[in-house]
Amino acid sequence: MSDLTRLPASVLREQIAAKKVSPVELTDAVLARADALQPVLNCFVTLVPEQARAAARAAEDAVMKGQPLGLLHGIPFAAKDLVNTKGVRTTFGSLHHEDNVPREDAVSAARVKAAGGILFGKTTTPEFGHKSLTDAPLFGRTRNAWSAARTSGGSSGGAAVAVAAGIGPIGIATDGGGSTRIPAAANGMVGLKQSNGVIPHSQVADAFGNYTYVTPMTRTVMDTALMLQAMAGPHPSDPWSIGVQPQDYLAAAHPEGDLAGRRILYSATLGNTLVARDVRAAFEAALGRLRALGAELVELDGALPDMEPIWKVINHTTWRARFDELVRRPDNRLSSSLVRQVKMAADWSGADYQKAMFQRTNLFRKMQDWFETADYLVTPTLSRTALPIDQDLFDPIDIDGVEAGELRANWFPYTMPFNITGHPALSLCCGYDREGLPIGLQIVGRFRDEASVLRAAALYEASESWLDRWPDL
Protein backbone atom coordinates (compact mmCIF):
# COMPACT_ATOMS: atom_id res chain seq x y z
CA MET A 1 0.00 0.00 0.00
CA SER A 2 2.82 2.44 0.82
CA ASP A 3 4.34 1.79 -2.62
CA LEU A 4 0.99 2.58 -4.22
CA THR A 5 0.74 5.95 -2.47
CA ARG A 6 4.23 6.89 -3.65
CA LEU A 7 3.29 6.75 -7.32
CA PRO A 8 2.64 10.07 -9.08
CA ALA A 9 -0.74 10.78 -10.62
CA SER A 10 0.80 10.60 -14.10
CA VAL A 11 1.71 6.93 -13.52
CA LEU A 12 -1.44 6.06 -11.60
CA ARG A 13 -3.74 7.32 -14.36
CA GLU A 14 -2.00 5.08 -16.89
CA GLN A 15 -2.14 2.05 -14.61
CA ILE A 16 -5.80 2.67 -13.80
CA ALA A 17 -6.63 2.90 -17.50
CA ALA A 18 -4.69 -0.33 -18.10
CA LYS A 19 -6.59 -2.01 -15.24
CA LYS A 20 -3.35 -2.59 -13.32
CA VAL A 21 -4.42 -0.39 -10.41
CA SER A 22 -7.89 -0.31 -8.94
CA PRO A 23 -9.33 3.12 -7.99
CA VAL A 24 -10.91 1.40 -4.96
CA GLU A 25 -7.59 -0.11 -3.86
CA LEU A 26 -5.83 3.24 -4.39
CA THR A 27 -8.46 5.20 -2.47
CA ASP A 28 -8.36 2.71 0.40
CA ALA A 29 -4.56 3.08 0.54
CA VAL A 30 -4.80 6.88 0.58
CA LEU A 31 -7.43 6.87 3.34
CA ALA A 32 -5.42 4.40 5.42
CA ARG A 33 -2.32 6.57 5.15
CA ALA A 34 -4.33 9.68 6.02
CA ASP A 35 -5.67 7.98 9.15
CA ALA A 36 -2.18 6.84 10.15
CA LEU A 37 -0.43 10.19 9.64
CA GLN A 38 -3.10 12.71 10.59
CA PRO A 39 -2.28 12.42 14.34
CA VAL A 40 1.38 13.15 13.52
CA LEU A 41 1.10 15.84 10.82
CA ASN A 42 -2.36 17.36 11.39
CA CYS A 43 -2.77 18.27 7.73
CA PHE A 44 -6.52 17.68 7.38
CA VAL A 45 -9.54 19.52 8.72
CA THR A 46 -12.01 17.02 7.27
CA LEU A 47 -11.82 13.55 5.72
CA VAL A 48 -14.72 12.06 3.73
CA PRO A 49 -13.99 8.32 3.46
CA GLU A 50 -17.52 7.18 2.62
CA GLN A 51 -17.92 9.72 -0.19
CA ALA A 52 -14.43 8.91 -1.52
CA ARG A 53 -15.05 5.16 -1.54
CA ALA A 54 -18.37 5.61 -3.34
CA ALA A 55 -16.66 7.75 -5.99
CA ALA A 56 -13.88 5.17 -6.28
CA ARG A 57 -16.38 2.38 -6.89
CA ALA A 58 -18.02 4.45 -9.63
CA ALA A 59 -14.61 5.18 -11.15
CA GLU A 60 -13.70 1.50 -11.15
CA ASP A 61 -17.01 0.60 -12.74
CA ALA A 62 -16.35 3.08 -15.55
CA VAL A 63 -12.93 1.51 -16.18
CA MET A 64 -14.36 -2.00 -16.29
CA LYS A 65 -17.09 -0.92 -18.71
CA GLY A 66 -14.56 0.68 -21.04
CA GLN A 67 -16.06 4.15 -20.72
CA PRO A 68 -14.05 7.27 -21.69
CA LEU A 69 -11.74 8.30 -18.85
CA GLY A 70 -10.75 11.82 -17.80
CA LEU A 71 -7.24 13.12 -17.20
CA LEU A 72 -7.46 12.35 -13.48
CA HIS A 73 -9.76 9.37 -13.53
CA GLY A 74 -9.67 7.49 -10.24
CA ILE A 75 -7.01 9.76 -8.71
CA PRO A 76 -7.68 10.81 -5.09
CA PHE A 77 -7.18 14.51 -4.33
CA ALA A 78 -7.59 16.78 -1.34
CA ALA A 79 -8.70 20.43 -1.53
CA LYS A 80 -7.49 23.25 0.69
CA ASP A 81 -10.18 24.26 3.14
CA LEU A 82 -10.57 27.65 1.44
CA VAL A 83 -11.90 25.98 -1.71
CA ASN A 84 -15.65 25.31 -1.81
CA THR A 85 -16.63 21.65 -2.14
CA LYS A 86 -20.27 20.76 -2.64
CA GLY A 87 -21.73 18.89 0.33
CA VAL A 88 -18.38 18.75 2.15
CA ARG A 89 -17.62 20.99 5.11
CA THR A 90 -15.48 23.99 4.14
CA THR A 91 -14.41 26.01 7.18
CA PHE A 92 -11.84 28.50 5.83
CA GLY A 93 -9.91 27.52 8.98
CA SER A 94 -12.34 29.64 11.01
CA LEU A 95 -14.39 28.95 14.11
CA HIS A 96 -17.03 31.20 12.56
CA HIS A 97 -17.48 28.73 9.68
CA GLU A 98 -16.90 25.48 11.55
CA ASP A 99 -20.13 23.94 10.23
CA ASN A 100 -20.26 25.58 6.78
CA VAL A 101 -21.24 23.19 3.98
CA PRO A 102 -21.19 24.75 0.47
CA ARG A 103 -24.00 24.05 -1.95
CA GLU A 104 -21.70 24.00 -4.97
CA ASP A 105 -18.09 23.36 -5.90
CA ALA A 106 -15.61 26.05 -6.74
CA VAL A 107 -14.89 25.92 -10.48
CA SER A 108 -11.45 24.44 -9.80
CA ALA A 109 -12.82 21.61 -7.66
CA ALA A 110 -15.65 20.95 -10.11
CA ARG A 111 -13.16 20.60 -12.95
CA VAL A 112 -10.90 18.20 -11.06
CA LYS A 113 -13.96 16.08 -10.28
CA ALA A 114 -15.10 16.29 -13.91
CA ALA A 115 -11.67 14.96 -14.93
CA GLY A 116 -12.29 11.94 -12.70
CA GLY A 117 -10.58 13.08 -9.49
CA ILE A 118 -11.87 11.65 -6.20
CA LEU A 119 -12.15 14.12 -3.30
CA PHE A 120 -11.08 12.46 -0.05
CA GLY A 121 -10.51 15.42 2.29
CA LYS A 122 -9.96 19.10 3.04
CA THR A 123 -6.47 20.28 3.99
CA THR A 124 -5.52 22.76 6.67
CA THR A 125 -5.10 26.50 6.23
CA PRO A 126 -4.60 29.41 8.61
CA GLU A 127 -7.84 31.33 8.99
CA PHE A 128 -8.87 32.66 5.56
CA GLY A 129 -5.31 31.91 4.37
CA HIS A 130 -4.02 35.02 6.12
CA LYS A 131 -0.42 33.98 6.86
CA SER A 132 2.51 31.82 5.80
CA LEU A 133 2.31 29.56 8.88
CA THR A 134 -0.42 26.92 8.95
CA ASP A 135 -2.18 27.04 12.29
CA ALA A 136 -5.66 28.09 13.36
CA PRO A 137 -7.84 28.06 16.50
CA LEU A 138 -10.06 25.51 14.76
CA PHE A 139 -7.48 22.72 14.37
CA GLY A 140 -4.06 23.73 15.79
CA ARG A 141 -0.71 23.51 13.98
CA THR A 142 0.28 21.55 10.88
CA ARG A 143 3.79 20.11 11.03
CA ASN A 144 6.36 19.99 8.25
CA ALA A 145 6.58 16.58 6.54
CA TRP A 146 10.37 16.50 7.03
CA SER A 147 10.60 17.65 10.66
CA ALA A 148 8.05 17.80 13.46
CA ALA A 149 10.01 20.75 14.87
CA ARG A 150 9.39 22.89 11.74
CA THR A 151 6.44 24.71 10.25
CA SER A 152 4.73 23.40 7.15
CA GLY A 153 4.73 26.93 5.77
CA GLY A 154 1.48 28.41 4.54
CA SER A 155 -1.08 29.16 3.86
CA SER A 156 -1.44 25.92 1.85
CA GLY A 157 0.54 24.02 4.47
CA GLY A 158 -1.85 21.10 4.72
CA ALA A 159 -1.95 20.66 0.94
CA ALA A 160 1.85 20.52 0.70
CA VAL A 161 2.30 18.20 3.67
CA ALA A 162 -0.37 15.75 2.48
CA VAL A 163 1.40 15.34 -0.87
CA ALA A 164 4.92 15.34 0.63
CA ALA A 165 3.94 12.58 3.08
CA GLY A 166 2.56 10.41 0.28
CA ILE A 167 -1.00 10.60 1.57
CA GLY A 168 -2.44 11.72 -1.75
CA PRO A 169 -0.65 12.40 -5.04
CA ILE A 170 -2.25 15.78 -5.78
CA GLY A 171 -4.08 18.62 -4.05
CA ILE A 172 -5.81 21.90 -4.75
CA ALA A 173 -4.14 24.86 -3.03
CA THR A 174 -4.34 28.67 -3.20
CA ASP A 175 -1.75 31.45 -3.45
CA GLY A 176 -2.25 35.09 -2.40
CA GLY A 177 1.35 36.11 -1.71
CA GLY A 178 3.21 32.83 -2.03
CA SER A 179 0.77 30.52 -0.25
CA THR A 180 1.37 27.64 -2.66
CA ARG A 181 5.07 28.19 -3.34
CA ILE A 182 6.09 28.77 0.30
CA PRO A 183 4.87 25.39 1.65
CA ALA A 184 5.92 23.69 -1.59
CA ALA A 185 9.47 24.90 -0.99
CA ALA A 186 9.38 24.10 2.73
CA ASN A 187 8.25 20.52 2.00
CA GLY A 188 10.12 19.83 -1.27
CA MET A 189 7.03 19.85 -3.52
CA VAL A 190 6.11 21.44 -6.86
CA GLY A 191 3.92 24.51 -6.38
CA LEU A 192 2.73 26.56 -9.36
CA LYS A 193 1.10 29.97 -9.19
CA GLN A 194 -0.21 30.35 -12.71
CA SER A 195 -0.98 33.61 -14.50
CA ASN A 196 -4.11 35.52 -13.65
CA GLY A 197 -7.11 33.95 -15.40
CA VAL A 198 -5.51 30.67 -16.47
CA ILE A 199 -7.45 28.80 -13.77
CA PRO A 200 -10.72 30.62 -13.05
CA HIS A 201 -11.17 31.85 -9.48
CA SER A 202 -14.90 31.68 -8.82
CA GLN A 203 -14.77 32.66 -5.13
CA VAL A 204 -12.64 35.81 -5.08
CA ALA A 205 -14.59 38.89 -3.92
CA ASP A 206 -12.79 41.41 -6.16
CA ALA A 207 -12.44 39.62 -9.47
CA PHE A 208 -11.09 42.66 -11.31
CA GLY A 209 -8.35 43.57 -8.80
CA ASN A 210 -7.56 39.94 -8.06
CA TYR A 211 -4.08 38.88 -6.89
CA THR A 212 -5.03 35.45 -5.46
CA TYR A 213 -4.98 32.14 -7.34
CA VAL A 214 -6.40 28.61 -7.01
CA THR A 215 -3.50 26.32 -7.82
CA PRO A 216 -2.17 22.77 -8.17
CA MET A 217 -0.01 21.20 -5.44
CA THR A 218 1.93 18.11 -6.54
CA ARG A 219 5.20 16.24 -6.17
CA THR A 220 6.21 16.25 -9.83
CA VAL A 221 6.12 18.73 -12.69
CA MET A 222 4.08 16.35 -14.84
CA ASP A 223 1.43 16.04 -12.13
CA THR A 224 1.24 19.84 -11.99
CA ALA A 225 0.73 19.84 -15.75
CA LEU A 226 -2.07 17.26 -15.39
CA MET A 227 -3.88 19.35 -12.80
CA LEU A 228 -3.40 22.53 -14.77
CA GLN A 229 -4.75 20.88 -17.92
CA ALA A 230 -7.82 19.75 -15.98
CA MET A 231 -8.50 23.10 -14.26
CA ALA A 232 -7.57 25.64 -16.94
CA GLY A 233 -9.92 27.34 -19.37
CA PRO A 234 -12.32 30.28 -19.42
CA HIS A 235 -15.32 30.59 -17.10
CA PRO A 236 -17.91 33.39 -16.92
CA SER A 237 -17.33 33.91 -13.17
CA ASP A 238 -13.78 35.20 -13.70
CA PRO A 239 -13.27 38.13 -16.11
CA TRP A 240 -9.51 37.49 -16.28
CA SER A 241 -10.20 33.98 -17.64
CA ILE A 242 -12.54 34.91 -20.46
CA GLY A 243 -10.93 34.18 -23.80
CA VAL A 244 -7.87 32.48 -22.23
CA GLN A 245 -7.53 29.05 -23.83
CA PRO A 246 -5.30 26.38 -22.24
CA GLN A 247 -1.93 25.53 -23.73
CA ASP A 248 -0.76 21.93 -24.14
CA TYR A 249 0.68 21.63 -20.65
CA LEU A 250 1.17 17.87 -20.83
CA ALA A 251 3.40 18.10 -23.90
CA ALA A 252 5.36 20.94 -22.27
CA ALA A 253 6.05 18.89 -19.14
CA HIS A 254 7.89 16.11 -20.97
CA PRO A 255 11.62 16.65 -20.23
CA GLU A 256 12.76 16.50 -23.83
CA GLY A 257 15.46 18.59 -25.47
CA ASP A 258 17.36 21.32 -23.66
CA LEU A 259 17.37 25.05 -22.91
CA ALA A 260 19.71 26.07 -25.70
CA GLY A 261 18.90 29.55 -26.94
CA ARG A 262 17.01 30.41 -23.75
CA ARG A 263 18.04 33.43 -21.69
CA ILE A 264 17.59 33.27 -17.91
CA LEU A 265 17.78 36.26 -15.59
CA TYR A 266 18.70 35.24 -12.07
CA SER A 267 18.91 36.83 -8.64
CA ALA A 268 19.85 35.19 -5.34
CA THR A 269 18.37 38.07 -3.38
CA LEU A 270 15.74 39.94 -5.47
CA GLY A 271 16.32 42.86 -3.12
CA ASN A 272 16.50 40.69 -0.02
CA THR A 273 19.23 41.33 2.56
CA LEU A 274 20.03 37.89 4.01
CA VAL A 275 20.04 34.48 2.31
CA ALA A 276 21.00 31.30 4.17
CA ARG A 277 24.34 29.74 3.16
CA ASP A 278 22.73 26.40 2.27
CA VAL A 279 20.04 28.12 0.19
CA ARG A 280 22.62 30.16 -1.70
CA ALA A 281 24.76 27.05 -2.33
CA ALA A 282 21.77 25.06 -3.62
CA PHE A 283 20.70 27.99 -5.80
CA GLU A 284 24.16 28.29 -7.35
CA ALA A 285 24.22 24.55 -8.01
CA ALA A 286 20.80 24.84 -9.68
CA LEU A 287 22.11 27.64 -11.89
CA GLY A 288 24.91 25.30 -12.92
CA ARG A 289 22.34 22.68 -13.93
CA LEU A 290 20.42 25.22 -16.00
CA ARG A 291 23.65 26.37 -17.66
CA ALA A 292 24.50 22.74 -18.44
CA LEU A 293 21.09 22.42 -20.10
CA GLY A 294 22.24 25.11 -22.54
CA ALA A 295 20.66 28.26 -21.10
CA GLU A 296 22.41 31.62 -21.10
CA LEU A 297 22.42 33.02 -17.55
CA VAL A 298 22.48 36.75 -16.85
CA GLU A 299 22.46 38.19 -13.35
CA LEU A 300 19.60 40.61 -12.81
CA ASP A 301 20.79 44.17 -12.28
CA GLY A 302 17.41 45.92 -12.27
CA ALA A 303 16.27 46.42 -8.68
CA LEU A 304 12.68 45.79 -7.65
CA PRO A 305 10.87 48.22 -5.37
CA ASP A 306 10.28 47.02 -1.81
CA MET A 307 7.34 44.74 -2.52
CA GLU A 308 6.09 44.03 0.98
CA PRO A 309 4.58 47.50 1.64
CA ILE A 310 2.83 47.50 -1.76
CA TRP A 311 1.43 44.01 -1.26
CA LYS A 312 0.44 44.82 2.32
CA VAL A 313 -1.68 47.86 1.38
CA ILE A 314 -3.51 45.93 -1.34
CA ASN A 315 -3.92 42.79 0.75
CA HIS A 316 -4.79 44.27 4.15
CA THR A 317 -7.32 46.75 2.78
CA THR A 318 -8.99 43.78 1.06
CA TRP A 319 -9.10 41.97 4.39
CA ARG A 320 -10.48 45.04 6.14
CA ALA A 321 -13.30 45.25 3.62
CA ARG A 322 -14.03 41.55 4.12
CA PHE A 323 -13.56 41.11 7.87
CA ASP A 324 -13.81 44.44 9.70
CA GLU A 325 -17.48 43.96 10.50
CA LEU A 326 -16.74 40.52 11.97
CA VAL A 327 -13.78 41.91 13.96
CA ARG A 328 -16.11 44.45 15.58
CA ARG A 329 -18.77 41.92 16.58
CA PRO A 330 -18.92 40.95 20.28
CA ASP A 331 -18.79 37.26 19.33
CA ASN A 332 -15.59 37.70 17.28
CA ARG A 333 -13.40 34.58 17.49
CA LEU A 334 -10.98 35.38 14.66
CA SER A 335 -7.27 34.61 14.95
CA SER A 336 -5.44 37.41 16.76
CA SER A 337 -2.92 37.64 13.91
CA LEU A 338 -5.71 38.21 11.38
CA VAL A 339 -7.39 40.80 13.61
CA ARG A 340 -4.08 42.65 14.00
CA GLN A 341 -3.61 42.87 10.23
CA VAL A 342 -7.18 43.99 9.61
CA LYS A 343 -6.67 46.79 12.11
CA MET A 344 -3.43 47.86 10.37
CA ALA A 345 -5.47 48.78 7.30
CA ALA A 346 -7.43 51.41 9.23
CA ASP A 347 -4.48 53.77 8.69
CA TRP A 348 -4.75 53.60 4.89
CA SER A 349 -7.10 55.65 2.72
CA GLY A 350 -8.70 54.89 -0.60
CA ALA A 351 -5.97 57.02 -2.18
CA ASP A 352 -3.31 54.87 -0.51
CA TYR A 353 -4.92 51.79 -2.00
CA GLN A 354 -5.08 53.35 -5.44
CA LYS A 355 -1.42 54.43 -5.24
CA ALA A 356 -0.52 50.80 -4.45
CA MET A 357 -2.47 49.75 -7.53
CA PHE A 358 -0.51 52.29 -9.59
CA GLN A 359 2.68 50.68 -8.26
CA ARG A 360 1.24 47.30 -9.21
CA THR A 361 0.88 48.50 -12.80
CA ASN A 362 4.43 49.89 -12.82
CA LEU A 363 5.78 46.60 -11.52
CA PHE A 364 3.92 44.63 -14.19
CA ARG A 365 5.41 46.85 -16.90
CA LYS A 366 8.90 46.45 -15.43
CA MET A 367 8.49 42.65 -15.59
CA GLN A 368 7.25 42.92 -19.15
CA ASP A 369 10.40 44.87 -20.03
CA TRP A 370 12.56 42.14 -18.49
CA PHE A 371 10.80 39.46 -20.50
CA GLU A 372 11.34 41.35 -23.74
CA THR A 373 14.91 40.03 -23.71
CA ALA A 374 14.70 37.06 -21.34
CA ASP A 375 12.69 33.84 -21.23
CA TYR A 376 12.79 33.24 -17.48
CA LEU A 377 13.65 34.77 -14.14
CA VAL A 378 15.05 32.35 -11.55
CA THR A 379 15.34 32.96 -7.79
CA PRO A 380 15.29 30.99 -4.57
CA THR A 381 11.73 30.51 -3.32
CA LEU A 382 12.57 31.25 0.32
CA SER A 383 15.55 32.90 2.02
CA ARG A 384 15.95 29.91 4.35
CA THR A 385 14.39 26.49 4.94
CA ALA A 386 11.31 25.84 7.10
CA LEU A 387 11.02 28.00 10.21
CA PRO A 388 10.53 26.60 13.72
CA ILE A 389 7.05 25.25 14.41
CA ASP A 390 6.41 27.93 17.04
CA GLN A 391 7.50 30.89 14.88
CA ASP A 392 5.22 33.91 15.31
CA LEU A 393 4.13 35.88 12.25
CA PHE A 394 5.24 39.20 13.70
CA ASP A 395 8.55 38.11 15.22
CA PRO A 396 11.87 38.40 13.37
CA ILE A 397 13.26 35.29 11.71
CA ASP A 398 16.74 33.85 12.14
CA ILE A 399 19.01 33.16 9.17
CA ASP A 400 22.28 31.39 9.99
CA GLY A 401 22.21 32.76 13.53
CA VAL A 402 21.55 36.35 12.45
CA GLU A 403 18.28 38.16 13.18
CA ALA A 404 16.98 39.00 9.71
CA GLY A 405 13.90 41.05 10.53
CA GLU A 406 10.14 40.55 10.19
CA LEU A 407 9.01 37.25 8.69
CA ARG A 408 7.03 38.31 5.64
CA ALA A 409 9.53 40.76 4.18
CA ASN A 410 12.55 38.56 4.88
CA TRP A 411 11.44 34.95 4.35
CA PHE A 412 9.51 35.15 1.09
CA PRO A 413 10.17 38.44 -0.69
CA TYR A 414 10.65 36.31 -3.83
CA THR A 415 7.03 35.19 -4.10
CA MET A 416 4.89 38.32 -3.51
CA PRO A 417 5.87 40.24 -6.68
CA PHE A 418 4.33 37.67 -8.99
CA ASN A 419 0.97 37.66 -7.22
CA ILE A 420 0.90 41.37 -7.95
CA THR A 421 2.05 41.16 -11.59
CA GLY A 422 0.26 37.92 -12.45
CA HIS A 423 3.26 36.22 -14.10
CA PRO A 424 3.51 32.41 -13.71
CA ALA A 425 5.91 31.30 -10.97
CA LEU A 426 6.73 27.71 -10.05
CA SER A 427 8.68 26.37 -7.07
CA LEU A 428 10.39 22.98 -7.10
CA CYS A 429 13.02 21.30 -4.97
CA CYS A 430 16.66 22.14 -5.70
CA GLY A 431 18.35 20.48 -2.73
CA TYR A 432 18.43 20.10 1.04
CA ASP A 433 20.15 21.95 3.84
CA ARG A 434 22.56 20.37 6.32
CA GLU A 435 19.61 19.32 8.51
CA GLY A 436 17.90 17.55 5.61
CA LEU A 437 15.22 20.18 5.01
CA PRO A 438 14.14 20.93 1.42
CA ILE A 439 15.19 24.06 -0.48
CA GLY A 440 13.08 25.62 -3.23
CA LEU A 441 13.97 27.05 -6.63
CA GLN A 442 11.50 29.50 -8.23
CA ILE A 443 11.13 29.73 -12.02
CA VAL A 444 9.15 32.72 -13.32
CA GLY A 445 8.02 33.01 -16.92
CA ARG A 446 6.29 35.28 -19.39
CA PHE A 447 2.71 36.27 -18.69
CA ARG A 448 0.35 33.38 -19.51
CA ASP A 449 3.15 31.18 -20.80
CA GLU A 450 2.79 28.38 -18.26
CA ALA A 451 3.86 25.82 -20.84
CA SER A 452 7.33 27.36 -21.08
CA VAL A 453 7.70 27.40 -17.29
CA LEU A 454 6.65 23.75 -17.08
CA ARG A 455 9.18 22.82 -19.76
CA ALA A 456 12.07 24.48 -17.95
CA ALA A 457 10.97 22.96 -14.64
CA ALA A 458 10.63 19.48 -16.15
CA LEU A 459 14.12 19.66 -17.68
CA TYR A 460 15.60 20.84 -14.39
CA GLU A 461 13.69 18.16 -12.42
CA ALA A 462 15.00 15.44 -14.75
CA SER A 463 18.58 16.66 -14.26
CA GLU A 464 18.38 16.08 -10.50
CA SER A 465 17.61 13.11 -8.23
CA TRP A 466 15.58 14.83 -5.52
CA LEU A 467 12.45 12.83 -6.35
CA ASP A 468 14.17 9.75 -4.93
CA ARG A 469 14.04 11.23 -1.41
CA TRP A 470 11.07 10.87 0.91
CA PRO A 471 10.58 12.18 4.44
CA ASP A 472 11.19 9.66 7.22
CA LEU A 473 7.81 9.46 8.90
pLDDT of residue 305: 77
* Active-site annotation holder among 155, 195, 241, 337: 155
Task: Report pLDDT digits (tens) over 8-33.
Answer: 999 999 999 999 999 999 999 999 99
Mapped onto helix, strand or coil, the DSSP state of residue 240 is helix
Range of the domain at 174: 2-468
Q: How confident is the model at residue 71 (pLDDT cuts 50, 70, 90)?
A: very high
Residue 46 covered by a domain: yes
Residue 154 covered by a domain: yes
pLDDT of residue 306: 82
- At position 285, the amino acid (one-letter code) is A
Residue 304 covered by a domain: yes
Question: Cα(256)–Cα(260) distance, rounded to whole angstroms?
Answer: 12
* Active-site annotation holder among 22, 80, 94, 113: 80
Residue 240 covered by a domain: yes
pLDDT of residue 450: 98
Nearest to residue 381, comparing CAs of 263, 280, 452, 313?
A: 280
pLDDT of residue 2: 58
Mapped onto helix, strand or coil, the DSSP state of residue 12 is helix
Task: Report pLDDT digits (tens) over 367-388.
Answer: 999 999 999 999 999 999 999 9
Q: Please, which residues have CB within 8 angstroms of residue 361's CB and are 6 or more apart in sequence?
A: none
Domain count, the chain: 1
Sheet architecture: strand order including 44-47: 44-47, 118-123, 76-80, 170-175, 213-218, 190-193, 425-432, 438-445, 376-380, 263-266, 296-299
Mapped onto helix, strand or coil, the DSSP state of residue 426 is strand
Residue 403 covered by a domain: yes
Whether 80 is catalytic: yes
Phi, psi of 384 (to 5 degrees): -155, 170
CATH number for the domain that contains residue 348: 3.90.1300.10
* Active-site annotation holder among 179, 195, 335, 383: 179
Average pLDDT of the chain to the nearest whole number: 97
Indicate the burial class of 64 (C-beta count within 10 angstroms; 0-12, 13-18, 19 or more): exposed
Residue 113 covered by a domain: yes
Whether 155 is catalytic: yes
Q: Please, which residues have CB within 8 angstroms of residue 157's CB and are 6 or more apart in sequence?
A: 43, 123, 124, 125, 126, 133, 134, 142, 151, 183
Question: Cα(162)–Cα(124) distance, rounded to whole angstroms?
Answer: 10
Question: Cα(107)–Cα(223) distance, rounded to whole angstroms?
Answer: 19
Tell me if the pTM is above 0.85.
Answer: yes
Task: Report pLDDT digits (tens) over 278-330.
Answer: 999 999 999 999 999 999 999 998 777 788 899 999 999 999 999 999 999 99
The gap between the terminal CA atoms of the chain, to the nearest Å, is 15
Q: How confident is the model at residue 65 (pLDDT cuts 50, 70, 90)?
A: very high
CA 147 to chain centre: 20
Residue 473 covered by a domain: no
pLDDT of residue 301: 87
Residue 96 covered by a domain: yes
